[in-house]
């Protein structure tokens, strides 16, 4: 579904991605993980063309992500950021159906789709007519997810989707997301700094360090067969922080 070849990306002097090759198969869930500044968010933003690589190629479903191909591709890729990125001047419903309405949905179709999505992400549909500032953090993330799913995309890109939430809400939403991913059966790429979350949600974990892929493997591989000293140190640091044992097994 996503194919990245020889990706280089620098912001001014600082090189963020230095020769990344990555292929993501359809209908898999992949977590990009790594210490902050490792380039994981940049990599995600390259996948839907929010950024362009300095060198290398990004393809989505065989199409190179440049120029005129961007807009149609983006409509097939849902994207959710940490803060939700909701449009403050629109109600939850309007946020969710903005693109649809612009693409010609009538009022009825928009209403039906919003209700459908609300039940999918378990949002009380009474909240749909509230503005973002009238919603809690967890509710806002659900609305952001609804917006990303509104056009029934084939892929979902999630940049720290739970990063801004408090631990209780976060744990609940992790479970819900897991269930949702299983049910939707879409290609999902999510960025997180939390190894437990990555292990919990994704079947494949890609650990980035300093612009390179440090290890790329199936669920649990980082714990069982660390590919380098860095991976070992990263895992043990995460373990100390979160008591990872349970999640890893």
Partner 1 sequence: MRCLALLLVLLCSCVSRGQETLKIGSKSFTESVLLGELLAEKARREGLTVEHKDSLRGTRLVFEAVKSGAIDVYPEYTGTLIGELFADRDVATDAELRQALADVGLAMSDPIGFNNTYAIGVLPETAERFGLAAIADLRKAPNLRMGFTNEFIERDDGWRPLKEAYDLPQTDIRGIDHDLGYQALGSGAIDAKELYTTDAKIQSMGLTVLRDTIDHFPRYDAVWIYRADLPERSPAAMRAIEALTNVLDEAAMSALNARVDIDGRTEAEVARAYFDNAKTPDGALTTGDRLRRAAADIPRTTAEHAVLVGASMMLAITIAVPLGVLAAHSRRFEQVVLNVSGILQTIPSLALLALLVSLLAITGQIPTIIALFVYSLLPIVRTTHAGLTQIPQSVRDSARSLGLPRGSMLLFVELPLALPSIFAGIKTAVVINVGTATLGGFIAAGGYGDPILAGIRRVDTVLILAGLIPAALMAIVLTLLLDGVERMLSPAGVRGGIR
- Positions touching partner 1 (CB under 8 A) are 45, 48, 50, 70-75, 77, 79, 81-91, 98-99, 102, 131-134, 144, 147, 151, 157
In the complex with partner 1, the residue whose CB is nearer, 41 or 238, is 41
> In angstroms, rounded to a whole number, what is the distance separating the alpha carbons of residues 56 and 54?
7
In the complex with partner 1, the residue whose CB is nearer, 93 or 200, is 93
- Does an H or E element contain 80, and which? strand 77-80
Taking the complex as a whole, how short is the minimal distance between the CB of residue 154 and partner 1, in angstroms? 13
Q: Give the helix ranges, DSSP H, for the chain.
A: 40-47, 70-75, 92-102, 107-120, 137-149, 167-184, 195-201, 221-224, 229-242, 245-248
CB 128 within 8 A of CB 139: no
Q: Which phi and psi (to 5°) does residue 156 adopt?
A: -125, 130
Taking the complex as a whole, how short is the minimal distance between the CB of residue 205 and partner 1, in angstroms? 24
In the complex with partner 1, the residue whose CB is nearer, 1 or 81, is 81
Taking the complex as a whole, how short is the minimal distance between the CB of residue 226 and partner 1, in angstroms? 33
CB 123 within 8 A of CB 150: no
Q: Which phi and psi (to 5°) does residue 187 adopt?
A: -75, 125
In the complex with partner 1, the residue whose CB is nearer, 81 or 202, is 81
In the complex with partner 1, the residue whose CB is nearer, 20 or 44, is 44
Taking the complex as a whole, how short is the minimal distance between the CB of residue 202 and partner 1, in angstroms? 21
Return the closest-CA partner of residue 183 out of 122, 115, 99: 122
Taking the complex as a whole, how short is the minimal distance between the CB of residue 2 and partner 1, in angstroms? 14
Q: What is the rounded radius of gyration, in angstroms, for the C-alpha atoms of the chain? A: 18
């Amino acid at each position: 579904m996503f194919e990245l070849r020889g990706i280089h990306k620098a912001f001014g002097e600082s090189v963020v991605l230095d020769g990344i090759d990555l292929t993501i198969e359809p209908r898999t869930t992949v977590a990009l993980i790594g210490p902050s500044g490792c380039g994981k968010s940049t990599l995600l933003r390259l996948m839907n063309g929010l950024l362009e690589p300095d060198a290398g190629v990004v393809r989505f479903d065989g199409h190179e992500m440049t120029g005129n191909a961007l807009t149609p591709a983006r409509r097939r890729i849902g994207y959710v950021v940490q803060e939700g990125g909701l449009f403050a001047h629109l109600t939850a419903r309007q946020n969710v159906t903005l693109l649809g309405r612009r693409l010609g949905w009538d009022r009825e179709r928009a209403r039906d789709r919003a209700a459908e999505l609300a039940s999918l992400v378990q949002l009380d549909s009474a909240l749909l007519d509230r503005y973002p500032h009238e919603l809690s953090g967890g509710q806002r993330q659900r609305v952001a997810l609804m917006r990303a799913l509104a056009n029934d995309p084939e892929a979902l890109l999630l940049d720290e989707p739970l990063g801004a939430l408090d631990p209780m809400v976060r744990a609940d939403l992790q479970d819900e997301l897991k269930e949702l991913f299983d049910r939707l059966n879409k290609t999902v790429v999510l960025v997180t700094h939390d190894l437990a979350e990555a292990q919990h949600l994704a079947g494949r974990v890609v650990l980035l360090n300093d612009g390179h892929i440090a290890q790329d493997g199936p669920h649990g591989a980082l714990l069982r067969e660390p590919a380098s000293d860095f991976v070992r140190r990263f895992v043990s640091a995460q373990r100390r922080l979160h008591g990872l044992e349970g999640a890893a097994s």
